[in-house]
Amino acid sequence: MELVPDKRLFWFLKDDVRFDLSVPSQLDMYLQQVLTHGISDDIKFLFKNITITQFEESFTRCKTFLPLEIRKFWEHALQSS
């Protein structure tokens, strides 16, 4: 799944950049930025474009880079599902 990143979240990228969420490193960057700086609509959009398995795998790879409160929230949410 290829998408154009929201400039509100990815202000630091050039305008012509696209993310291919099937590439783990790109998904990780996208997920980290959305969970750290996104709003609920950004997270809903993320889940419309990836599976829960992709989310869990990406979260596992990048959770150490997330703020503590966000990491703990999602760890709890994933344990509850």
> Which pTM was predicted?
0.90
Q: What is the pLDDT of residue 50?
A: 95
What percent of the chain lies above the pLDDT cut of 70?
99
* Token code pair at residue 29: 């960057």
Q: Name, in order, each residue with C-beta under 8 angstroms of 38's C-beta and a sequence gap of 6 or more.
A: 9, 46
The stretch 5-16 carries a mean pLDDT of 92
The stretch 20-32 carries a mean pLDDT of 96
pLDDT grade for 1, boundaries at 50, 70 and 90: confident
Q: Is the pLDDT of residue 81 over 80?
A: no
Write down the mean pLDDT value for the chain.
94
The stretch 33-57 carries a mean pLDDT of 96
- Total Cβ atoms within 10 A of residue 78: 14
